[in-house]
Amino acid sequence: MHDEKELERIGTESQKILELARSLVKPGVSIAEVANKIDDEIRSKKLHTSFPINISINEQAAHYTPSFDDKAVFSPNDVVKIDIGLRSGSELTDCAITVDLSSKHSKLVDATNEACVAAIKKVKAGTKLCDIGAVVEEIAAKSGFKPVKNLGGHGLEEGELHAHYFIPNFDNGDTTELQDGDLVAIEVFLTDGEGYVDEGDTIQIFQKAAGAHARASDLRTVSTFIEEEYSSYPFALRWLVKKFGSEFKPRATLNELARNEALEQFPVLIERKKGMVAQSEHTVLVQKSGCKIVV
C-alpha cells in the first residue's frame, strides 16, 4: 500500500526540480554543471535519487549522466532528455521531459508528449499493457515517427525503480493487467530513426548488489560507502570520485564487484540509426476508474 500523502510530496518536489533542470539547459552551459546543481537541489529537499539524473542528448535515449570531469556543453542544435528519479523512504517517483534547444524538432517532442498523455488516459485497474502500447504506437505512426520498442514504462516499488511491469510503447501482445494500487511510470520514447536502441560504450551509472563488498580494505571502504549511501539503488561514478578525491579507488572497487558479478552497469542507450529521440514520462497511481498523476 502506497503512502499517497508522501507520494504527493515527492511528486510536487520532483516537478519543481524537473522545471529547474529545464531552466538550466541552455546552449553553452556545462552538462556537468546542470547535473551537479540538480544533485544539490535534491539533497536540499532532504530527498534521495532512485536513479542519477539522465541528461541524454539527440540520438542518446537514456543513461547519459556526466563524468566527474565532463567538459561537454549543450549545443544550440541539441534535443535534451532530462530524466529524474527520486525517493523518500519507501516511495519513488520517476519523470522526464524533452527540451528542444534547436526548435527544429517540435513535431517529435509534441507527438511524444501527446502519446504520453493518451497513454495515461488509458491507465486504470484492468487495463492491458498492450493496450497502452497500442495508443502510443498509433500516435507515433500518425505523426510520422516510431516508438522505441525496447524501451518503455515500468512499475515502481521500494528498492526497485524498474519493477513488476514493462509497459510497452507499442502493441506487444502483453495482456497483463494493471492492478488497483499499482504505482507505474508511463515512459514514452519516440524517434525519427529505426525504433530500437543499442548499448553504447559510455558507462557512468552503476548499481551494487546488496551486501556485496570488495575484499581489499581500502576498496571495501568504497563499497561500504556505496551500501550506506545508496543502498541497492543506482549511483553515478562522479559521486564516488567527489567523495574519494580521485577515480582510482572507485574504479578499482567497481571492477572487482563486476568480476564478482555483484555490479549492474547502465551503458548509454543510443538509437540504432542515430535517429533523434524524444522522451516524456510521468509517475501515476493506478485506481479502479483511472489513475492519479503523481508527477
- Residue 91 is a catalytic residue: no
Closest CA to 295 of 60, 86, 61: 86
- Residue 281 is a catalytic residue: yes
Local structure of residue 3 (DSSP, 8 states): -
- Residue 227 is a catalytic residue: no
Burial of 195 per CB tally in 10 Å (0-12, 13-18, 19+): buried
Amino acid at 180: D
- Residue 13 is a catalytic residue: no
Task: Give the Cα-Cα-Cα angle 279, 281, 287 (nearest 5 degrees).
Answer: 150
Catalytic residue from among 182, 187, 192, 271: 187
d(CA 53, CA 243): 18
Residue 98 is inside which H or E element, if any? strand 91-100
Grid coordinates representing 86 are: 527520486
d(CA 68, CA 56): 16
3-state secondary structure of 45: coil
- Given its phi and psi angles, is residue 190 left (phi above 0), alpha (psi -120 to 50 degrees) or beta? beta
Catalytic residue from among 63, 105, 154, 213: 154
Catalytic residue from among 70, 83, 171, 271: 83
Catalytic residue from among 63, 105, 162, 213: 162
> Can you name the residues that pair with 270 across neighbouring β-strands?
60, 198
- Residue 63 is a catalytic residue: no
- Residue 154 is a catalytic residue: yes
d(CA 39, CA 245): 18
Q: In this structure, are residues 289 and 281 in contact, taking their beta carbons and an 8 Å threshold?
A: no
Catalytic residue from among 13, 59, 78, 94: 94
Catalytic residue from among 59, 91, 171, 281: 281
Which active-site residues does the annotation give?
83, 94, 154, 162, 187, 281
